[in-house]
Amino acid sequence: MFRIFLDSSVLFSAAYSVKGHSQDLILMGMQEKLKLIVSPFVLEETRRNLAISAPEKLTTLELILPLIHFEMVHPSKEHVLDAIVYVVLKDAPILAAAKLAEVDFFVTLDRKHLLGKPALEVYAKTKIVTPGDAFAFIIEHEQ
């Protein structure tokens, strides 16, 4: 079973729209076709961003969260301080959690700070991909 760490941008997208690969990954997680991993920071950031940008979608998020059997990772202060060397401060807790989770993919929509950064993939010891890339790989390798 694939292990996928979700960035808050992916959860935001899944709550915001019933279409798209963010939603597809959430549904696969609900069906236990893959293991979805997040951190408390990811959940809080998702709630905060929805409250600012799309408060009407907070209810959607709160309805889907209990349906997903997330694995939670809790990076320490030391993990976050280690990650801050590689990313902007706001993303250090997320990068630290993704590394700690030991996942097959770190899935994000953050093109500015996370995607297309080979040094981050080396640090996190995983591929950093979009929901579409993760979905396509999983479907291609499903057994």
Token pair in block for residue 82: 């280690």
Mean pLDDT across 125-134: 97
* 51 three-class SS: helix
The residue ranges of every structural domain in the chain are 3-140
The model's pTM = 0.94
Query: For the packed helices 8-16 and 40-53, what is the interaxial angle rounded to 10 degrees?
Result: 50
Question: What pLDDT sits at residue 18?
Answer: 85
Question: What does the pLDDT look like over 22-72, one tens digit per residue?
Answer: 999 999 999 999 999 999 999 999 999 999 999 999 999 999 999 999 999
Question: What pLDDT sits at residue 142?
Answer: 78
Q: Which CATH number fits domain 3-140: 3.30.360.10, 3.40.50.1010, 3.90.550.10, 3.40.50.300?
A: 3.40.50.1010
Question: What does the pLDDT look like over 69-110, one tens digit per residue?
Answer: 999 999 999 999 999 999 999 999 999 999 999 999 999 999
Question: What pLDDT sits at residue 143?
Answer: 59
